[in-house]
Amino acid sequence: MTKPIFIYLVLFFCLACAKKQTDTTEEPTQKEYSSTGGPTFGIVIHGGAGTILKKNMTDSLEAAYKEVLTKAIKTGHEILANGGSSLDAVRKTINVMEDSPLFNSGKGAVFTHEGKNELDASIMDGATLNAGAIAGVTTVKNPIDLAYEVMVNSEHVMLSGKGAEDFATRQGLEIVDPSYFYTKKRYRSLQRILEQEKTELDPDGGTAFVDPYIKDQKFGTVGCVALDKNGNLAAGTSTGGMTNKRWNRIGDSPIIGSGTYANNATCGVSSTGWGEYFIRGQVAHDISAQMEYAGKTLAQATHNVIQEKLTKMGGTGGVVSMDHDGNVSMEFNTEGMYRAHMDAQGKLTLGIYKENE
């Protein structure tokens, strides 16, 4: 081989290697991008579902709900826009709704048959499938924060009652007197149901248990799903349960797979509704499973689970959900659901009633 040919081959090989290295380093590290050129992210929330009709809503009350929904979702969106985690966005967003007397969580929690407030919450990390939940606490100001502490600072998934409250104290969470959760509106709701019980008899001649899910179809649970710039999903749910509940009843909100679920491979889900049916149907996980195993889109999965499977069972309520690409579904089979969504561009969508109202 002559010297000029050898030099030419060496140069060709070096140039080819350099081009290959350049091509590799220029590939984006994020799979999905917003129209502004940055990584996609987003957040979606609910404040409960049920018989929510515009004809029964005053202008001032509607404005109050929209104000808190807007404040809550903007809190989480700001965290995401600044590169914060989906877990932080979910917690801080739910904190805003827990601190409002408008929603059945935290400050606005409903009363049990005995006149107490028993709070439930859960949170899940879609990146690790780690989760935390608490049930039946009466002194923790922000239950979603306690669920988070269970997830990151214990080897457990769910704690309940006095043990959960002791753990909250050890973790330095804000503890309040149970009277903090008293609101006149929620207490009056309990008294109305108790009066109905006095006038209705069961087959054995005693007073009947009046189910508020039948008498007053409103579910004030709050929840949030967020997708951060790193592509991580998180979901959380917080509630006071059902008015007039007895025997330390626990609904779907603190149960992973029923009220809350998150998996980076599929989606994040937060539920609200008649909890017993959401538990039986494992609603939140079913949506994820249909995406993973049946190849359905988020919209197809949520429609099937809420409008077909849940409805056929006799359950009512809804979900907010988001997939790993930032697509959102706010599906419900009731007359309304308090809900909001903000995308990577900061576009805010608010809703209370059915779309055709």
Known active-site residue 221: yes
CA separation for the pair 152, 155 (Å, rounded): 8
CA separation for the pair 225, 289 (Å, rounded): 17
Residue 75's contacts (CB-CB under 8 Å, 6 or more residues apart) are: 92, 93, 95, 96
Catalytic one of 112, 221, 260, 266: 221
Backbone angles phi, psi at 322, to 5 degrees: -145, 140
Kindly state the DSSP code that residue 33 receives in the 8-state scheme: B
The secondary structure element, H or E, covering residue 119 is strand 119-125
What are the start-end ranges of the H helices in the chain?
Answer: 3-25, 59-81, 86-98, 143-153, 161-170, 184-199, 212-215, 275-281, 283-294, 298-303, 311-313
Q: How far is CA 136 from CA 71, 246, 247, in A?
A: 27, 11, 11
CA separation for the pair 88, 273 (Å, rounded): 25
Residues assigned a catalytic role: 221
